[in-house]
Amino acid sequence: MDYIVHLGRPKDSTGRLDKELRTYDLLDSLGIEYHRVDHEPLETMEACKGVDEVLEVEMCKNLFLCNAQKTRFYLLLMPGDKKFKTKDISKQIGSARLSFGSYEDMERLLDITPGSVSVTGLMNDAENQVQLIIDEDLLKQPYLACHPCINTSSIRLKTEDLLMKLIPSIEHEPIFVRL
């Protein structure tokens, strides 16, 4: 498939979901430059490979997790090629074993659906119920790619902009881990 890279938000917002447009509004209000590719729904890391190549970056793996009691929720950002092992992270964040959060909790807390999990969804967590966790290996990358709260578009932004502008604006202080 031939993907076209665009600088910034779509010129025509017809048919776009409000949560996607809010993502662009936030990025624009913070002066964050981003490149965007529109595509068919991408639900796996494997499906993201073609978009990764066009954006010249590896899509960040975003996992929505919770503790066994479903009282604590987490959003883990990690390199797409790494395997996730709950024991590797549980000890570092002082939590009992983690599992994947439910579709209902994901939608309620982040206004996103499976396949669309993204750091941008934290803008919808006004009560700060989701703890952001970032694998330190991502900090070595000049750019990160993620979905703008919907899996039919992908965006690339500078890692520095994510850490210095986006995350502070959504008030979700990250915990950094080594996986």
Q: Determine the average pLDDT of the residues in 111-139.
A: 94
- Per-residue pLDDT reduced to its tens digit, 20-68: 999 999 999 999 999 999 998 876 667 778 888 899 997 788 999 999 8
**Span 122-147, average pLDDT:** 95
DSSP class of 139: G
pLDDT for residue 87: 85
Residue whose pair of structure tokens reads 């965006």 in the numeric block: 155
Residue 170 has pLDDT above 80, yes or no: yes
Contact status, residue 135 vs residue 77, Cβ threshold 8 Å: yes
User: pLDDT above 90 covers what percent of the chain?
Assistant: 74
Is the per-residue pLDDT at 105 higher than 70? yes
**CATH for the 5-177 domain, from 1.20.1250.20, 3.40.462.20, 3.90.960.10, 3.30.470.20:** 3.90.960.10
- The total of other beta-carbon atoms located within 10 Å of residue 98's CB is 22
